Amino acid sequence: MTSFLSDERGGMGLGVTVGFLLMILIGWIPILGPLLAGIVAGILARGGVGAGALAGFLSGIMAAIILGLLVAIWGFTELGLLEALLGGLATFWAALLLSAGAALFGLIGGIIGGAMVERKQE
């Protein structure tokens, strides 16, 4: 039986996609959710520390943008026109800034995952 880390399948697209989906599913757990999603993205990227960091960061940024858009859409649908313009956009930026932490921890997780793959390949 082969180890998951020695499997040749994977790549940047797969790493970012799976990391993004995990970020959506478990990203609400402070620090640990984005970190685990970044680790998985880094492992699946199969390119070492640099590729793992990029995959973890991109998955975090994608999740932050989607969260910000969902919050803005909610603000536009639940509030009146003036409140939506002011409150919806302010809420969008607040969610985007708060989600930047998820991107940072995704980056750190991606570095860890990339280092795991790099070390296993040596």
For residues 7 and 98, give the distance between their C-alpha atoms in angstroms, rounded to a whole number.
Answer: 35
Q: Which pLDDT score is estimated for 74?
A: 73
Residue 2: inside a domain: no
Q: Compute the Cα dihedral for 110, 94, 90, 68 and give only its sign.
A: positive
Is the per-residue pLDDT at 86 higher than 60? Answer: yes
For residues 65 and 67, give the distance between their C-alpha atoms in angstroms, rounded to a whole number.
Answer: 5
Q: Which pLDDT score is estimated for 1?
A: 36
The answer to whether 117 touches 5, Cβ cutoff 8 Å, is yes
First to last CA, the chain: 19
Task: Find the domain containing 83 and state its range.
Answer: 9-121
Task: Answer whether 0.85 is exceeded by the pTM.
Answer: no
How many domains are there within the chain?
A: 1
Mean pLDDT over residues 46-67, rounded?
A: 88
Residue 3: inside a domain: no
Mean pLDDT over residues 39-60, rounded?
A: 91
Counts of helices then strands in the chain (DSSP H, E) = 5, 0
